[in-house]
Amino acid sequence: MTPKDFFAFAEKNGAKMVDLKFTDIFGTWQHCSYPISTWSEGTFEDGVGFDGSSIRGWQPIDSSDMLAVPDPSTVKMDPFFKSPTVSVLADIVDPITKEDYNKDPRNVAKKGLAYLQQTGIADACFIGPEPEFFIFDDVRYLSNQRGAMYEIDSSEAAWNTGRSEGGNLGHKIGYKGGYFPVSPIDSYGDLRAEMVEELQKVGIVVEAHHHEVATAGQCEIDMEFAPLLQMADQFMWYKYVIKNVAKRNGKTVTFMPKPVFEDNGSGMHTHISLWKGGDTLMYGDGYAGLSETAMHAIGGILSHGRALIALSNPTANSFHRLVPGFEAPVTLAMSQRNRSAACRIPMYSGSPKAKRVEFRCPDPTANGYLSFTALMMAMIDGIQNKTDPGEPLDRDIYDMTPEELAETNIAPKSLDEALVALEEDHAFLTAGDVFSEDLIKSFIKHKRTEELDPIRLRPHPYEFDLYYNA
């Protein structure tokens, strides 16, 4: 779509306003709305100004002016404004040099794809994420000098079987009992269907929706795989649509990986494949039907897995899900069908085009632009260096002895540990100037000073159970 097409699209849909959106380092959409009458075709070249120092991890105050340049190919009708409003995504540009901003996640994804083509390895990367989320009826939380608390509730939660509801019908999801039950136990089929309808309106192809394993409204809506940049854009729309559909139905959605104690957390298993000239590079006659190229790509993921996890699991809460000894995919090994390995090769289909690797560690707090691109960069590095992925782990990890487990490479146990791994291992990300040192340093600094340090400074409520009477 050209700028002229943009204005024709807006007129056709009766839109008087345009909502400009862009993504910060940490995967949050920022936006500003304008009367369409204030824009012209030149806006798509000149951009609109904003204060970059007010965006987390971006500019210092003495060089705060930045430009957001709308991409007309991303125009859609925003389904959540009362007045008809067109939405367009923006790329961030330095107003002085006119260069693409090195901390703009969308720019990182674009540079990653350009680097992929430059290497000659492949010309396309397809991504298929599986984000999970919880639907709650109520959430309350507080943290100050006097105390700290959180409380969540869901009409279908197992803890509400004894609640007086003016007629408790008893159709609750048991702990770890939420995978695929029909209604009335699965009470969110209609709400998910409404979410799917809105996702389709913004051009997202949905494959399926279903309840997930955990009690208290854990759900999943699967998108069809798409090229990396398109999928990263779609992931932003995905979270926006699902949260807003929930809100207009009096519900609240969280993509927080571990909001419920002693039940499954929410992951975002990420399927990825490389293609060239319209043909997959993943299919072959090796293990699990993989090519040698695919094996080396998996070797790259596993060798850089600990650093990747800083971007794919970027919150302290992420590591309440990635806990060794449970069902979380913390073992950095590959396997066909084994869901406890970090890299799984799905075996549902014998079609060469279906051959891919599934990285099971990520969760939906990840910034898709950065996480998907980092995963691709690790694969490129593995292919370039012919990295051996090691022996497949085709056995039940929980049957392994402590001695056997000690020989396996495992995911970081905390965000702090993951950030150290990223600090020590990110040359594969800066290849081709895809990720800048500035972006990586800003990401690590913010995570340490604005998230980890505040957590360290606060007593945890459970510490009162453990130590109050010590």
Residues designated as active site: 51, 130, 132, 212, 220, 269, 339, 358, 360
Q: What is the largest CA-CA distance in the chain?
A: 71
Q: How does DSSP assign 254-275, residue by residue?
A: E--S--STTS----EEEEEEEE
Is residue 412 within 8 Å of residue 325, measured between CB atoms?
no
For residues 230 and 368, give the distance between their C-alpha atoms in angstroms, rounded to a whole number.
10
Is residue 176 within 8 Å of residue 207, measured between CB atoms?
no
For residues 393 and 398, give the distance between their C-alpha atoms in angstroms, rounded to a whole number.
12
Q: State which H helix or E strand residue 5 sits in.
A: helix 3-12
Is residue 218 within 8 Å of residue 264, measured between CB atoms?
yes
Report the Cα 295 to chain-centroid distance in Å: 24
Is residue 268 within 8 Å of residue 359, measured between CB atoms?
no
Alpha-helical (H) ranges within 304-450 are: 305-312, 318-321, 368-384, 402-406, 415-424, 427-430, 437-446
- The rounded radius of gyration (Å) of the Cα atoms in the chain is 23
Task: Identify each DSSP E strand in 188-300 by its residue range.
Answer: 206-211, 218-223, 226-227, 252-254, 268-276, 279-280
For residues 452 and 448, give the distance between their C-alpha atoms in angstroms, rounded to a whole number.
5
